[in-house]
Structure formats: structure tokens, C-alpha cells
Amino acid sequence: MPFLPATYRSSVHWGETKTWYGIPGQDAEKFEAAIKREAPDLFEAQPDLLFQLVTLMNPQRLTESGVQVYACNQRAGEFVVTFPKAYHAGFNHGVRSYRQYFLGSFFDLSAVQLQ
């Protein structure tokens, strides 16, 4: 689940569903510790592994390590927002057309309250 330090929005114009997995920023350190315990040899060989788009871990293993993991299915006409410090990963169920937007400072995070 790559780390993106800014806020992004992804919207699907048409096509198949995308399944997203997300870890809230408040659990970033727990996630990093869990994945390093799971694959210490990989991190020794490549210390910046979490910044690559190739690192995945079974969500059930993460929850067993006390990491909150959320999942959602994004369909055409819907959007997903990823927040700073949050890790995320996903996979497409088929062909789709989408667009990602960098929201940066245009998006007031103080206005968002997640339960």
C-alpha cells in the first residue's frame, strides 16, 4: 500500500469495479511495523519498499496485528478520497476509465470528520 503524503481523489468514469483497501493515517506506524515484521528480508534489501507500488500484504494479517483495514468497492460515477499518511491499495475487476486529482491544499481536511 503505497504512501502518498497528499490528498488525492480518484473518480471512475465508466467500466468495472475497483476494490480499495485503506489504512487510516492514525495506524500508519502500526502498519509499517506489521509489514516489516512480515518481510524483514525485503526491507533489508530495499529500505524504501513502502514507497514503491509493489508492496501488498494480506488484510487479515494486518488486522491480526491490530491495524485497522477498511475496504470499499468503487463503481462508475463514484469517487474515493485518500488522505495524507493513509496507505491504500486496490485492484481492478476489469477495464475501466478513471482520473486521479491532486487536491493538496484545496481540500480543507479540518472540515472532514470520520466516525
Burial (CB count <10 Å: 0-12, 13-18, 19+), residue 2 = middle
> Is 2 within a domain?
no
Query: Are β-strands 18-23 and 8-15 bridged in parallel, bridged antiparallel, or unpaired?
Result: unpaired
pTM for the structure as a whole: 0.73
How many whole angstroms separate alpha carbon 40 and alpha carbon 27?
Answer: 19
> Is 47 within a domain?
yes
Quick check: 70 pLDDT over 60? Answer: yes
Instruction: Provide the pLDDT for residue 37.
Output: 94
> Is 1 within a domain?
no
User: What is the tally of structural domains in the chain?
Assistant: 1
> Is 53 within a domain?
yes
Instruction: Provide the pLDDT for residue 49.
Output: 86
User: Which one is predicted more confidently, 98 or 77?
Assistant: 77
Residue 86 structural domain? 8-111
Instruction: Provide the pLDDT for residue 55.
Output: 76
- pLDDT category, 6, cuts 50, 70, 90? very low
